[in-house]
Chains A and B, each alone.
Chain A
Amino acid sequence: MWQPQSEVDETPQNGQNGAEGGPPRIFRWLPRIRKKPAPALERAYDRFLETIKDTLSDFTTMEINSVLVSNISADHPLIDVEFLRQTGEDLLAWFQEHSMDEQFQQSLKADSLAQLEHLCQSITFPLEPPEKDCVAALLKESTACLNNKNANSDPRHEPEASQRAEYRRFLRYLQKFLATCESDKWDDEGMLRGREQQQLRKLWELVGTTFVYAQTVVGLDGDAISRLNQQLFHATQGLSRESIEALIRFHNHNTEASAQGRNSLMSILVDTLRAVLRR
Chain B
Amino acid sequence: MLLTSQGQGICYHKDPSGPRFRCDLLPDVMRQQPSDPALVLATPEPAKAFWLRTLVHSILTGGQVIFETALPARRADARSEVAIRSLFQFGGDMVVSIDKRFLTRADGREILEAHTRWTGWCLTQLAQALALPSIVRRLGWSCVIAGPLCFVAGTFQYGGILQPFGVLLSLPGHLILPPAKQRLFYWLPVVLGIIMGAMPRAVIGLPALGLWQISMVALFQGSLWQAAGGRCVPWLARKVLGQLIRWKLKRAFEPA
Q: A interface vs B, CB < 8 Å?
A: 31, 44, 47-48, 51-52, 54-55, 57-59, 61-74, 76-80, 83, 192, 197-198, 201-202, 205-206, 208-210, 218, 237-239, 242-243, 246-247, 249-251, 253-254, 257-262, 264-265, 268, 271-272, 275-279
Contacts and interface: CB of A to CB of B under 8 A. Distances in A.
Given A250-B112, A268-B131, A202 B93 contact: yes
A10 to B, nearest CB: 27
A71 B175 CA distance: 54
Chain A interface, >50% SS class? helix
Given A210-B100, A242-B109, A277 B234 contact: yes
A246 B109 contact: yes
16 contacts: A52-B59, A54-B63, A54-B91, A63-B93, A72-B68, A76-B20, A83-B17, A201-B87, A201-B89, A205-B85, A208-B97, A250-B96, A250-B112, A250-B115, A261-B92, A276-B237
Given A201-B62, A202-B87, A247-B103, A65 B237 contact: no
Given A74-B79, A277-B238, A261 B88 contact: yes
B63 A198 contact: yes
Contacts of B16: 78-79
Which 10 residue pairs are nearest across A and B when measured between Cβ atoms? A58-B91, A62-B92, A264-B127, A262-B92, A72-B82, A197-B62, A205-B95, A51-B63, A246-B109, A55-B90
Contacts of A242: 109
Contacts of B15: 76, 78
Contact of B98 (A67, A260, A275): A67
Given A58-B92, A59-B92, A44 B130 contact: no
Chain B interface size, under 10 / 10 to 19 / 20 to 34 / 35 or more? 35 or more
Interface of B: 15-17, 20, 59-64, 66, 68, 70, 79-101, 103-104, 108-109, 112, 115-116, 119-120, 123-124, 126-127, 130-132, 136, 161, 175-176, 230, 233-234, 237-238, 241
Given A205-B97, A257-B123, A74 B81 contact: yes
A97 B95 CA distance: 24
B132 A271 contact: yes
Contacts of A268: 127, 130-132
A265 B65 CA distance: 15
Given A67-B97, A262-B92, A79 B17 contact: yes
Contacts of B96: 64-67, 250-251, 254
A69 B108 contact: no
B171 to A, nearest CB: 12
Nearest to B120: A257
